[in-house]
């Protein structure tokens, strides 16, 4: 395994607002909104998937294992 060398960073010589100094605050705000929107969409898709695939009749003998099979987790 290769040995790493520690680096010393001169924080005083870095540009103001580093590492986000190359874009405007409006860009970072828009990026944050986009990321937040995708997180919201992911949550809604999960709920929709549950509503469509989790809402079905389960035979009485499979009632204990069905939720674990549906979620992809094995029963422990």
Confidence of residue 1 (pLDDT cuts 50, 70, 90): confident
pLDDT in tens, 24-70: 999 999 999 999 999 999 999 988 888 877 666 666 766 676 666 66
pLDDT in tens, 48-60: 888 877 666 666 7
Residues 70/53, Cβ–Cβ less than 8 Å: yes
State if pTM tops 0.85. no
Largest Cα span, the chain: 69
């Amino acid at each position: 395994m290769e040995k790493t060398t520690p680096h010393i960073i001169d924080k005083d010589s870095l540009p103001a607002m580093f590492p986000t100094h190359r874009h405007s605050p409006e860009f970072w705000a828009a990026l944050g909104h986009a990321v937040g929107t995708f997180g919201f969409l992911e949550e809604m898709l999960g709920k929709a998937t549950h509503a469509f695939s989790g809402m079905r009749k389960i035979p009485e003998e499979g009632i204990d294992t069905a939720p674990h099979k549906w979620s992809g987790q094995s029963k422990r």
